[in-house]
């Protein structure tokens, strides 16, 4: 599980606002304007959660549109429901269907901020972050009082590495509409800034804000567990993951995260069983990669290779449906020693599309694994510029230092990575322990 120096940048980031970087946040009773039944349907879908039976909702909206094929509101909702079905099934074909419905809604009603915002969310799903930013800002101009557009804008800015603007946007969101969307983003921002305890504080508020809704409540528990896991704290991580599964039985993100906890405890058969359940329910590439890595570390090389091949097939389906996967596929291939020259090319393309600390880290790692460690070092420095306490990024830094013959610096990095989280990677944590000695 995951996430990541110049003094001047930190000073600028600190100006993002008291809510983001200050003390406790407070829930507000203020409700956003709106309130129709359709608005009530739109809000969970825009947040990435089911509004009841999503498959049934799709059928209902399709029936509505057969009667009124030019209803832009129903088209916009159908586009959002298709995005939710993509999340629920891991079938990327729903993304293309979403785009078709949303673009038709915008053609019929150019001022329909729900449809424009839906296109922005779709662009985020497809990792088209510049388009997401442009569309999010357009939706905000159409409905400047609607707080949810700030979430899309802030998310896009983070992925584009524009952290000062992103954190200021999250701060504005938290001021305008405190709640799950704001608190979870504040938690992520604090994590990026190397403040894990403050991130946990904000995520607890997200847990409280979601308490009445099963899927959001389970999601916030999983995110809270990941924050604890990132600190190497297995007991609270497991507690919150089991709470998520109690709230939302079979929740795949909890199953996958719990597989990492069980593996960290050395309970590999339990970890494999959990990972297989997650993959069987929703075959997301990250779930399949977890299962493959578990097979790899337990000596089941043939089964691992089968999972790794499946990751490649799914990534090709994603690309066919407009999802830009250069950074993710480059990281996967570099981690597993596959097609390194091609992976480096993809890492460079991904970095151009996503000039964030994630892009810096993946490019640094791809360069290092290709033997270009001098070039890798500058990108590794950039990946740590926010002060993020990310064990994996610090491990990558150690490998680059080791490649450059800086043995003492490398050992310091390996020890620091293990101090932050001794279980940061199924594959690489054992390597860090060996090299830290």
pLDDT digits (tens, 9 = 90+) for 50-102: 666 888 889 999 999 999 999 999 999 999 999 999 988 889 999 999 999 99
Please give the distance of CA 242 from its chain centroid, rounded to a whole number.
21
* Dihedral, CA of residue 214, residue 273, residue 263 and residue 310, to nearest 10: -90
Residue ranges of the chain with per-residue pLDDT less than 50: 2-36
What CATH number does the domain located at 325-437 have?
Answer: 1.25.40.10
What CATH number does the domain located at 39-146 have?
Answer: 1.25.40.10
Find out whether 62 and 44 touch, Cβ atoms under 8 Å. no
* pLDDT tens for each residue of 274-323: 999 999 999 999 999 999 999 999 999 999 999 999 998 888 888 888 88
Burial class (CB in 10 A: 0-12, 13-18, 19+), 189: buried
Rg for the chain (alpha carbons), in Å? 21
* pLDDT value, residue 315: 87
If phi > 0 it is left, if psi is from -120 to 50 it is alpha, else beta; for residue 90 that is left
* pLDDT value, residue 21: 36
- Measure the CA–CA gap between 135 and 266, rounded to whole angstroms: 46
Segment (H or E) for 41:
helix 37-47
Q: Which residues belong to CATH 1.25.40.10 in the chain?
A: 39-146, 325-437
* pLDDT value, residue 318: 87
In the three-class reduction of DSSP (H, G, I as helix; E, B as strand; rest coil), residue 384 is classed as: coil
* pLDDT value, residue 41: 67
């Amino acid at each position: 599980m995951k996430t990541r120096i110049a003094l001047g940048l930190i000073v600028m980031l600190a100006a993002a606002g008291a809510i983001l970087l200050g003390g406790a946040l407070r829930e507000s009773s203020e409700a956003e304007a709106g309130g129709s039944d359709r608005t009530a349907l739109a809000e969970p879908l825009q947040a990435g959660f089911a509004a009841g039976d999503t498959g049934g909702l799709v059928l209902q909206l399709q029936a509505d549109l057969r009667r009124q094929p030019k209803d832009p509101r129903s088209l916009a909702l159908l586009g959002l429901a298709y995005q939710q079905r993509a999340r629920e099934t891991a079938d990327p074909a729903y993304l293309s269907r979403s785009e078709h419905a949303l673009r038709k809604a915008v053609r019929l009603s150019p001022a329909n901020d729900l449809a424009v915002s839906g296109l922005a969310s779709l662009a985020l799903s497809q990792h088209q972050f510049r388009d997401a930013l442009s569309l999010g800002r357009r939706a905000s101009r159409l409905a400047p009082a609607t707080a949810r557009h700030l979430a899309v804008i802030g998310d896009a800015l983070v992925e584009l590495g524009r952290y000062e603007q992103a954190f200021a946007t999250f701060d504005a969101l938290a001021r305008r509409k405190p709640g799950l969307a704001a608190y979870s983003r504040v938690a992520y921002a604090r994590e990026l800034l190397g403040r894990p305890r403050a991130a946990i504080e904000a995520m607890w508020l997200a847990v409280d804000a979601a308490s009445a809704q099963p899927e959001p409540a389970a999601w916030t528990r999983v995110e809270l567990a990941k924050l604890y896991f990132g600190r190497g704290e297995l007991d609270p991580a497991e507690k919150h993951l089991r709470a998520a599964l109690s709230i939302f039985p079979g929740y795949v993100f909890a199953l996958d995260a719990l597989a990492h906890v069980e593996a960290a405890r050395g309970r590999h058969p339990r970890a494999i069983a959990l990972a297989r359940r997650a993959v069987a329910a929703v075959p997301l590439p990250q779930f399949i990669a977890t299962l493959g890595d578990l097979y790899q570390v337990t000596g089941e090389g043939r089964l691992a290779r089968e999972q790794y091949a499946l990751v490649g097939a799914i990534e090709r389906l994603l690309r066919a449906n407009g999802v830009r996967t250069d950074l993710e596929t480059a990281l996967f291939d570099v981690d597993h020693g596959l097609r390194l020259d091609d992976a480096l090319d993809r890492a460079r393309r991904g970095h151009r599309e996503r000039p964030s600390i994630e892009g810096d880290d993946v490019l640094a790692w791809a360069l290092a694994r290709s033997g270009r460690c001098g070039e890798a070092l500058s990108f590794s420095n950039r990946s740590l510029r926010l002060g993020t306490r990310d064990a994996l990024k610090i491990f990558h830094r150690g490998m680059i230092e080791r490649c450059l013959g800086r043995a003492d610096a490398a050992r310091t990095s390996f020890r620091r990575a293990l101090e932050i989280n001794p279980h940061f990677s199924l594959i690489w944590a054992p390597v860090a322990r060996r090299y830290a000695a």
